[in-house]
Amino acid sequence: DVKVTQSSRYLVKRTGEKVFLECVQDMDHENMFWYRQDPGLGLRLIYFSYDVKMKEKGDIPEGYSVSREKKERFSLILESASTNQTSMYLCASSHKRGGAGYEQYFGPGTRLTVT
């Protein structure tokens, strides 16, 4: 069974704190993704990674950084949390193939509240 896990389901942090969100997949997937999901705005891609130590900016990278030291683990870092980063964060992974066919498998999500 495919499995993507995220370190926390719910997280409450204060403005200015450094926040780490961890994601682990056990499917030996090359690609990993971080999204945030907000009402009315849908899923927005923050960062993604094709391989270990590789990262690329998505549509909304400002205020975030990522780390991928091992193939199975992809971390999202909020360097200095702000209230506008309160959101649902979703991690996903997929195989890397030539052409098309990239179904992504998602974790359960982390609901982050920044006060």
Partner 1 sequence: SQELEQSPQSLIVQEGKNLTINCTSSKTLYGLYWYKQKYGEGLIFLMMLQKGGEEKSHEKITAKLDEKKQQSSLHITASQPSHAGIYLCGADVLYNQGGKLIFGQGTELSVKP
Residues binding partner 1 (CB under 8 A): 4, 31, 33, 40, 42-43, 45, 48, 50, 58, 88, 90, 92, 94-109, 111
Minimum CB separation of residue 53 from partner 1 in Å reads 15
Q: Which is nearer to partner 1, 12 or 16 (CB)?
A: 12
Minimum CB separation of residue 34 from partner 1 in Å reads 12
Sign of CA dihedral 45, 37, 111, 23: negative
Q: Which is nearer to partner 1, 18 or 96 (CB)?
A: 96
Q: Which is nearer to partner 1, 70 or 96 (CB)?
A: 96
Residue pair 19/77 in contact by the 8 Å Cβ criterion: yes
Q: Which is nearer to partner 1, 64 or 79 (CB)?
A: 64
Q: Radius of gyration over alpha carbons of the chain, in Å?
A: 13
Minimum CB separation of residue 80 from partner 1 in Å reads 26
Minimum CB separation of residue 38 from partner 1 in Å reads 11
- How many angstroms separate the CA atoms of 30 and 38, rounded? 27
Spell 8-39 as b/e; 16+ CB within 10 A means b.
beebebeeeeebebbbbbeeebebbbbbbeee
- How many angstroms separate the CA atoms of 74 and 21, rounded? 9
